[in-house]
């Protein structure tokens, strides 16, 4: 998905948990672990600029030294999300956080995540993950091998990812239960209303029935549709 972050043109930019794909604008990278971690990174850790091994709960930087902090797919791992947020605000004037949404967590199999993450207004709301998810690895498989599902998911970034760009203040709240209406089928259906137009959906499913979705030219067409409509 296209990340909606706006680092400033001037000033130092910190990136925490940059993994194998640090943002081009980041000046300093931070990670807690060195080496490979293929559970979530796409490849080996990239160290191509100043790099600090540190725990993000206790960052080894002076107050206010950074203009912006980028934290993509980090919050859901934190032992203490509120302490992490305090450290971000202490060392940086602004920043960007992205995490999988609770909906995504409940569909996919990411056992190494600790928290469900939701966004209520400007507050990131977390509650502890359950030990097992009912769908196991079903949607991991669909995302990898079914282009129709891949296109469906990528067309609905607000449903599957949480984004928060903050300036000066970062509100993080930890609760014991989900803020989502998980026991209200009608409310859940409203959350998942398709963002695609009906003609595009019809074309996709006709192609699926014809057995053409797994062809490379169809994959390319889907990527073109996605870029045109949603990026």
| pLDDT tens-digit profile, the chain (231 residues) | 578 899 999 999 999 998 888 999 999 999 988 765 545 666 788 899 999 999 999 999 999 999 999 999 999 999 999 999 999 999 999 999 999 999 899 888 788 899 999 999 999 999 999 887 778 788 888 888 988 888 888 888 888 999 999 999 999 999 999 998 877 878 777 766 655 454 555 555 555 545 544 455 555 555 555 454 443
Give the burial class of 66: count Cβ atoms within 10 A of its Cβ; 0-12 exposed, 13-18 middle, 19 or more buried. Answer: buried
- Cα gap 93→63, rounded to integer Å: 10
The pTM of the whole model exceeds 0.85: no
User: Within 10 Å of residue 149's Cβ, how many Cβ atoms?
Assistant: 17
In this structure, the dihedral spanned by the alpha carbons of residues 152, 153, 157 and 160, taken in order and rounded to 10 degrees, is: 140
């Amino acid at each position: 998905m296209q990340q909606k972050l706006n680092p400033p043109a001037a000033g130092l930019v910190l990136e925490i948990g940059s993994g194998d794909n640090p943002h081009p604008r980041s000046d300093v990278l931070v990670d807690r672990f060195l080496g490979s971690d293929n559970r979530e990174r796409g490849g080996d850790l990239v160290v191509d600029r100043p790099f600090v091994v540190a725990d993000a709960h206790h960052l080894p930087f002076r107050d206010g030294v950074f203009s912006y902090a980028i934290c993509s797919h980090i919050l859901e791992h934190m032992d203490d999300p509120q302490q992490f947020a305090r450290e971000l605000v202490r060392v940086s004037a602004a920043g960007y956080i992205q995490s999988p949404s609770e909906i995504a967590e409940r569909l996919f199999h990411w056992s190494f995540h600790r928290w469900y993450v939701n966004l209520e207004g400007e507050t990131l709301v977390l509650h502890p993950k359950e030990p097992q998810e009912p769908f196991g690895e079903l949607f991991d498989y669909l995302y990898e091998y079914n282009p129709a599902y891949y296109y469906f998911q990528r067309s609905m970034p607000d449903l599957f990812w949480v984004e928060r760009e903050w300036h000066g203040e970062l509100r993080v709240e930890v609760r014991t239960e989900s803020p989502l209406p998980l026991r209200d089928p009608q409310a859940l259906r409203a959350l998942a209303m398709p963002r695609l137009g009906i003609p595009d959906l019809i074309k996709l499913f006709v192609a699926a029935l014809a057995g053409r979705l797994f062809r490379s030219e169809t994959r390319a067409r889907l990527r073109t549709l996605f870029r045109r409509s949603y990026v």
